[in-house]
Chain A
Amino acid sequence: MDLLPNISLAAFCQQLLVGLSRTTILFIVASGLSLVLGVLRIPNVAHGSLYMIGAFLAYTIASAAGGGTFGFWLALVLAPLGVALISLAVERGLFCRLYEREHLMLLLFTFAFTLVFGDLVKLVWGSDFRSMNAPTSLQGSFDVLGFPFPKYNLFLLIIGPIVALGLWWLTNKTKIGKIAKAAAVDREMVAAVGINVSWVFASVFVIGCFLAGLGGALVAPTQNITQGMDHGIIIETFLIVIIGGLGNIWGALLGALIFGLTDAIGILIFPQFAIVFPYVAVITVLMLRPKGLLKSVW
């Protein structure tokens, strides 16, 4: 194989676009993980499982609603809410009692939850592969510079900035965002001024998990909805959070961009060894900036 195959500029731009749409999903899931990590100091390994449950819930809701266009939109709204509800129960029932424990303990607890959720999914949905359809208007593709670009990916490209803006608004402009920031720095001080820190943490945890569910619901029409889809995403998003800077949402965005784009471009330029590209990028970033690209602002 040629070391430098003949790649047109059009193909390169098109590949960038495809990479960006994948970045959207990575960002949405990673930002939720980063939020929980930053405020609650919980390395939530079960985040990937919630993403999986989001996808399964989306499938169930969409099928129950007839599987058409309406079913998809309903699923996109309800599935993340369902995941948020599950996470609320988990937070109130268990995690809220564990905040004082050390990191390793929390890590083990969340790891235990990946096993519990994994078996739960198997019990509820069984082992068959599941699949749901994108709405008719988002099916198929159109030509960008002579190459096919799936309409659904364009939809993802629109959703990504909306979620980013929403998160920016939430953390900078709302009261809960400001309290959460303060609570992350000094929990006792916030409690001393009469704020119920426990509920602030619960809200942040639920919002973070909602994002996992949203990511799951968004990928559901493009993927095979099956057990084990939690493994890949949790590894990738953890890497993204680490290179971006722990707990920094903009770091998650930057990390997702680096990860998603090196992946897509690697596939185009050196398809035989494409798998290694995003990981090489991660290693490079960590060698240059061991604490991540951006500061942990929370």
Chain B
Amino acid sequence: MKPLSRFILTTLAVLVFSAIITGPTAFAAKAVKVGIVDCYSGPPSTYTNDVRDAFKLAIDKINASGSLSRKIEFVTRDSKFKVDIGLSAAKELIMRENVDIMMGTINSGLALAISDLCKKEKIPFLVTFSKSAKITGEKGHRYVFSLTENSALAGKAMAESLAKKPYTKFWIGGDDYEYGHAIADATWEHLIKIKPEVQLLGQSWWKVREPDFTPYITAMLAAKPDAVIVATGGADCVPFLKAAKATGFNDKVPFIMHTATELSTLKPLGANGPEGVLGTSNYFHYFPDSAENKAFVSEFKAAYDRPPAVGALYGYLAATFIQKAYATAGSFKTEKFIDALEGMTVDSPVGKVTIRAFDHQAMLPMFMGVTKKSAEYDYLIADDIIVISGEDAMPAIEEIKKARGM
């Protein structure tokens, strides 16, 4: 018993001591502190790592340039894709780490919970991956900003492109989860508005992380639709496209899937992915073919030895907006920072991006393309890219007002 109690005492002493030396950072030259809560374990990390890595790259550059009188630093916490863990991490960052800005997260439930917390604590919250339209829609407020597209934007963009095709009979299949239903509803509601003759033959809803889509695809084919709207996301895109290839779905019935053309989806499929799949995304490392994007890609590749995926754009935007907002405000006060961010435009790898002042939603252009084999890469790329501008994809301010009950 004695050695054990000594061990406990020593451990306690070390813990207390380390708390004392790492606790108060006030005596150091005060830096702007950004707290990032996101899921860094499990499948979502393939997206979130890019956000963090690109953010770090941009922050390092800003700090080195000395364009702000204070340095920007950041701390990360793993939410493990759980709302309770993520929310307590966010509280800890705000109470103990005294962060000035919060950032994250890929989990929509958690994003809304942190948004609520930040509203109470009056801390700006930059949302970097969650696709929930509620963040800047129904549940929007002064302290929350979304730097990523959401289901409303993506749905509208998909509907716009589908309306141009000669399809009338549709089938909807998707994740039986908020994201799936939100994106399917957004697409369908907009499609039926701009092309009233469309009809819905039926719907299939599968569980998130469905391992095998073959029975769903064969059942959809049996219904003989003109086109299928696939409302599945994240890790499920890969097995869906595999099953599509195995059944020849892409050759028989055209289908559209948001994020189908993204690097995270197409890279694991290699050169053997299904061609001719319609998909939308915010970013490709090979498009737009501009000097800004090329520079961004080569910097990212040099630092991390991989091409940046869509998350990298969000991380870059977060860092760039933070720098410009503080620089424009000429102050490090939160309220001034928010005033500056409203309506602010920055240059980015995808061109100029503006935060709409009314709902704090970044107006990101959406790229719609078709999967195609490429001579340059050992995976499929998006071809025939149509750009849907941020202004066109954004839901009208009236709709946001209605959702907020204004």
A residues within 8 Å of B by Cβ? 1, 5, 7-8, 11, 14-15, 18-19, 21-22, 25, 67, 122, 127-131, 133-134, 139-141, 147-153, 219, 221-229, 231-233, 263-264, 267-268, 271-275
In the complex where A122-B41, A131-B242, A148-B218 touch, is A272 in contact with B211 (Cβ < 8 A)?
no
The answer to whether A224 touches B236 (Cβ under 8 A) is: yes
Those of B182-218 within 8 Å (CB) of chain A: 202-207, 209, 211-212, 214-216, 218
The answer to whether A141 touches B219 (Cβ under 8 A) is: no
**CB-defined A-B contacts under 8 Å, sample of 29:** A5-B202, A5-B223, A14-B218, A15-B219, A15-B222, A127-B43, A128-B267, A128-B268, A129-B46, A129-B264, A133-B272, A134-B246, A140-B248, A141-B246, A148-B221, A148-B248, A148-B252, A150-B214, A153-B246, A219-B212, A222-B214, A222-B242, A224-B236, A225-B268, A231-B209, A267-B204, A267-B216, A271-B173, A271-B216
- Closest chain-B Cβ to A128's Cβ sits at a distance in Å of 5
The answer to whether B268 touches A127 (Cβ under 8 A) is: no
In the complex where A141-B247, A227-B42 touch, is A268 in contact with B215 (Cβ < 8 A)?
yes
The answer to whether A275 touches B45 (Cβ under 8 A) is: no
Please report the C-alpha to C-alpha distance between residue A7 and residue B235 in the assembled complex, in whole angstroms.
31
- Nearest CB in chain B to that of A11: its residue: B222
Please report the C-alpha to C-alpha distance between residue A11 and residue B176 in the assembled complex, in whole angstroms.
24
The answer to whether B235 touches A150 (Cβ under 8 A) is: no
Please report the C-alpha to C-alpha distance between residue A250 and residue B32 in the assembled complex, in whole angstroms.
64
B residues within 8 Å of A by Cβ? 41-43, 45-46, 49, 173, 176, 202-207, 209, 211-212, 214-216, 218-223, 235-236, 238-239, 242-243, 245-249, 252, 264-265, 267-270, 272
- Residues on B with C-beta less than 8 A from A271 are 173, 202-205, 216, 219-220
The answer to whether A15 touches B218 (Cβ under 8 A) is: yes
Please report the C-alpha to C-alpha distance between residue A252 and residue B176 in the assembled complex, in whole angstroms.
28
- Residues on B with C-beta less than 8 A from A22 are 212, 214-215
Please report the C-alpha to C-alpha distance between residue A155 and residue B53 in the assembled complex, in whole angstroms.
42
Q: From DSSP, what is the main secondary structure of chain B's interface residues? A: helix
Known: A127-B41, A271-B202, A275-B206. 11 other contacts (CB 8 A): A5-B223, A8-B222, A127-B43, A127-B46, A139-B246, A153-B214, A224-B238, A229-B211, A267-B215, A268-B215, A275-B207
In the complex where A22-B214, A263-B215 touch, is A228 in contact with B206 (Cβ < 8 A)?
no
- Residues on B with C-beta less than 8 A from A223 are 211-212, 238-239, 242
- Residues on A with C-beta less than 8 A from B173 are 271
- Nearest CB in chain B to that of A268: its residue: B219
- Residues on B with C-beta less than 8 A from A139 are 245-246, 272
The answer to whether B242 touches A147 (Cβ under 8 A) is: no
The answer to whether A226 touches B247 (Cβ under 8 A) is: no
Please report the C-alpha to C-alpha distance between residue A139 and residue B269 in the assembled complex, in whole angstroms.
14
- Closest chain-A Cβ to B257's Cβ sits at a distance in Å of 14
